[in-house]
Amino acid sequence: MVENSWKSQFPFLMQKKNGQPLIYFDNACMTPCPIPVLEAMEKYNKEFFSCGGRSNTHFGRDVDDKVEETRELVAKFIGAGASQEIIFTKNATEGINLVARGLNLHAGERVLVSDREHNSNLIVWQVLQKERGIELMILPSKSDETFDLAGLEAELQKGIKLVSVVYSSNLDGYTLPVEEIVKLARKYDAFVMLDGAQAVPHHAVNVKKLGVDFLAFSGHKMTAPSGIGVLYGRLAHLENLSSLLCGGHSVKDSRYNGFELEDIPARFEAGLQNYGGIIGLGEAIKFIKQVGFDFIAKQEFELNYFITRELKQIGGINFVGVDDPKSRGGIVNFYHEKMDSNQLTIFLDESANILTRSGRHCVHSWYNSRGVKDSIRISSYFYNTIDEAEKLISALKKILGLV
Amino acid sequence: MICLAAFIVFAILGIFSATHRRLAKQAFWCVLRRVTFKPCQASIGEILKGKIVGWLLRRKSRWAGWVHRYFEVFSWIFVIITLVSTFYTVKGAYFYIRYGTCNPEHPEQCLISTQAALEKGVINPYYCNDK
Ligand SMILES: Cc1ncc(COP(=O)(O)O)c(C=O)c1O
Please state the ipTM of this predicted complex. 0.75
Looking at A259, A289, A319, which one is the last position of a domain?
A289
CA of A312 to the centre of ligand 1 (A): 28
A5 dihedral zone (left: phi>0; alpha: psi -120 to 50; beta): alpha
> In a 10 Å sphere around its CB, with 0-12 CB exposed, 13-18 middle and 19+ buried, how is residue B127 labelled?
exposed
Q: Is the CB of A233 under 6 A from ligand 1?
A: no
For residue A360, list chain B residues with Cβ-Cβ distance below 8 A. Answer: 39-40
Looking at A244, A272, A289, which one is the last position of a domain?
A289
pTM of the predicted model as reported, rounded to 2 decimal places? 0.88
Q: CA of A135, closest CA in chain B: separation in Å? A: 28
Q: Are A164 and A96 in contact (CB under 8 A)?
A: yes
CA of A96 to the centre of ligand 1 (A): 10
Strands A110-114 and A162-166: parallel
The answer on A160 and A111 residing in a single domain is yes
Query: CA-to-CA distance for A285 and B15, rounded, in angstroms?
Result: 49
CA of A93 to the centre of ligand 1 (A): 6
The answer on A114 and A10 residing in a single domain is no
Given an 8 Å threshold on Cβ–Cβ distance, is A402 in contact with B51?
A: no
The DSSP result for A234-290, as a single string, is -HHHHHTPPPSS-STTSEEEEETTEEEEPPTTGGG--SS--HHHHHHHHHHHHHHHH
Q: Which atom of ligand 1 is nearest to the CA of A120?
A: 4
Q: Are B14 and B7 in contact (CB under 8 A)?
A: no
Ligand 1 pocket mutation, candidates A96, A195, A231, criterion most atoms within 8 A of CB: A195
> In a 10 Å sphere around its CB, with 0-12 CB exposed, 13-18 middle and 19+ buried, how is residue B116 labelled?
exposed
Q: Which atom of ligand 1 is nearest to the CA of A166?
A: 1
Domain ranges of chain B: 2-99, 100-131
For residue A350, list chain B residues with Cβ-Cβ distance below 8 A. Answer: 50-51, 53-55, 57-58
Query: CA-to-CA distance for A308 and A302, rounded, in angstroms?
Result: 10
Looking at A260, A289, A318, which one is the last position of a domain?
A289
Spatial CB neighbours of A309, under 8 Å, sequence gap ≥ 6? none
* Residue in A293, A301, A357 with CA at minimum distance from that of residue A330: A301
Cα separation of the two ends of chain B: 43
CATH number of the domain to which A332 belongs: 3.90.1150.10
A191 dihedral zone (left: phi>0; alpha: psi -120 to 50; beta): beta
- Residue A7: what residue type? K
pLDDT one-digit tens code per residue, A291-349: 999 999 999 999 999 999 999 999 899 999 998 989 999 999 999 999 999 999 999 99
Residue A253 domain flag: yes
B84 HSE (CA, 13 A, CB side): 6
Cα separation of the two ends of chain A: 32
Given an 8 Å threshold on Cβ–Cβ distance, is A340 in contact with B46?
A: yes
Cis ω on the peptide bond leading into residue B125 (within 30° of 0)? no
pLDDT confidence of residue B119: 67
Given an 8 Å threshold on Cβ–Cβ distance, is B54 in contact with A340?
A: no
The answer on A282 and A318 residing in a single domain is no
pLDDT confidence of residue B33: 63
Given an 8 Å threshold on Cβ–Cβ distance, is B39 in contact with A361?
A: no
pLDDT confidence of residue B104: 82
Residue A31 domain flag: no
Q: How far is CA B67 from CA A181, A336, A339, B57, in A?
A: 52, 19, 14, 10
Pick the residue from chain B with its C-alpha nearest to A399.
B57
CA of A382 to the centre of ligand 1 (A): 19
- Helical H runs in B14-120? 18-31, 44-58, 63-69, 71-99, 115-120
The answer on A304 and A253 residing in a single domain is no
CATH number of the domain to which A132 belongs: 3.40.640.10
Question: Active-site residue A362, yes or no?
Answer: yes
Given an 8 Å threshold on Cβ–Cβ distance, is B57 in contact with A351?
A: yes
Neighbours of B3 (CB within 10 A): 22
CA-based radius of gyration for chain A: 22
> How many structural domains compose chain A?
2
CA-based radius of gyration for chain B: 21
Query: CA-to-CA distance for A192 and A64, rounded, in angstroms?
Result: 31
Q: Is the CB of A198 under 6 A from ligand 1?
A: yes
The answer on A299 and A283 residing in a single domain is no
The ranges of chain A with pLDDT < 70 are 1-3
Q: Would you write out chain B's pLDDT as a tens digit for each of its 131 residues? A: 777 777 887 788 788 888 778 878 877 777 776 555 555 567 777 888 899 999 999 987 788 988 888 888 888 888 888 888 888 889 888 988 888 888 888 877 887 777 766 666 555 545 444 44
Q: CA of A362, closest CA in chain B: separation in Å? A: 9
Q: Is the CB of A379 under 6 A from ligand 1?
A: no
Residue A335 pairs in a beta bridge with: A318
The answer on A139 and A21 residing in a single domain is no
Given strand A86-89, what is the order of strands in its sheet?
A86-89, A229-233, A214-218, A191-195, A162-166, A110-114, A135-139
Ligand 1 pocket mutation, candidates A362, A365, A379, A381, criterion most atoms within 8 A of CB: A362
Pick the residue from chain A with its C-alpha nearest to B43.
A342
Interface of B with A (CB under 8 A): 38-43, 46-47, 49-51, 53-55, 57-58, 64-65, 68-69
- Residue A129: what residue type? Q
The answer on A152 and A270 residing in a single domain is yes
Q: CA of B54, closest CA in chain A: separation in Å? A: 4
Pick the residue from chain A with its C-alpha nearest to B52.
A350
CB pairs under 8 A between A and B: 64
Given an 8 Å threshold on Cβ–Cβ distance, is B49 in contact with A343?
A: yes
Q: Is the CB of A170 under 6 A from ligand 1?
A: yes
Residue A285 domain flag: yes
pLDDT confidence of residue B21: 84
Given an 8 Å threshold on Cβ–Cβ distance, is B51 in contact with A359?
A: no
Q: Are A32 and A201 in contact (CB under 8 A)?
A: no
Residue A30 domain flag: no
What range defines the domain where residue A272 resides?
37-289
